[in-house]
Amino acid sequence: MRDVQSVPDSCTKMFDMSIQEVNGKGPKKRKKSLERICDNEERGAEAAAESAPEEQSGGAAPGGVRLLHWRDMPQHLQFNPYVLTGYRPLQSWAGCVGSLFYFHNETINILTHGVSLVYILMVLPGLLPWRSGPGAWFLSMCHLLGALAPWCGSFLYHLFMNHTRGEQLYQRLLQLDMLGIWVSQSIGAIPMVTATVYCAPAPLRYLALAVYSLGSLLGLYKAMRAWSPWERRLCFAAPFCMRVLLAGARAARLGGGDPHAILHVFLQNLNDTSTV
């Protein structure tokens, strides 16, 4: 077992942040990779001290913004020890927005979510049956919100995570990201739940909707209080299990809905699972 006293402070923080999930809080991390990083950092400590200006930065971005090394970031932004360079410094609102126009470690995350958000806004509203029957407007709005929310929440989280307000704002952005996923998992699935029980007797129909709503609210409560990635994944277990049961009922012809749409129902559940 490695002696923690023999590694640099930044490595100790790395173990405190990343290895804590090994003790029942989440999936095991790659401990050997972490030790390898710390070994390399320990061997190069003397060389790093001699060339501090070059080692502390990951390069200069256009506009004079100096990108930083992983070890130069605040502790709440040191959650990924496998990305070592390209970090934005703490910035104002305008600085965070300005980071859209140069490449850094969050550029791909920001652009993929932003482009998807714009595409959904431009295309999806024209595909929904807003006036096809009673309740169609409400169900179409639920589907649109469920499609937009996770991309919007993640876009704002990745864009403003390095704001100068520090960890307090970061935690709020993380909650906003989880809120977007919750909207997709709960409100976005209401059309599928409604279609499945549409032909059922009214008491059973309202009971299914009530149970699903309660499970979704429980997931929201847990999502807003979750602190680890593994806890955030488990927040939506209740509504997910109910959607799987409803999808199985449709596949077995026990529920309503177009039989030809069953493949899309399973794909939607698979996609909702991948967003967590």
Binding residues, as ranges, are 158
Number of neighbours of residue 235 by Cβ within 10 angstroms: 23
Question: Cα–Cα distance between 52 and 225 in angstroms, integer?
Answer: 39
Q: Which residue has the tokens 């709503």?
A: 213
Show the tokens assigned to 69: 């090394």
Question: Is residue 130 within 8 Å of 136, Cβ to Cβ?
Answer: yes
Binding-site annotation, residues for Zn(2+) = 158
Q: φ and ψ at 64, to 5 degrees?
A: 85, 10
Question: Is residue 21 within 8 Å of 29, Cβ to Cβ?
Answer: yes
Question: Is residue 153 within 8 Å of 179, Cβ to Cβ?
Answer: yes
Q: What is the DSSP string of 158-214?
A: HHHTTBTTTHHHHHHHHHHHHHHHHHHHTGGGHHHHHHHTTTS-HHHHHHHHHHHHH
The DSSP call for residue 102 is: S
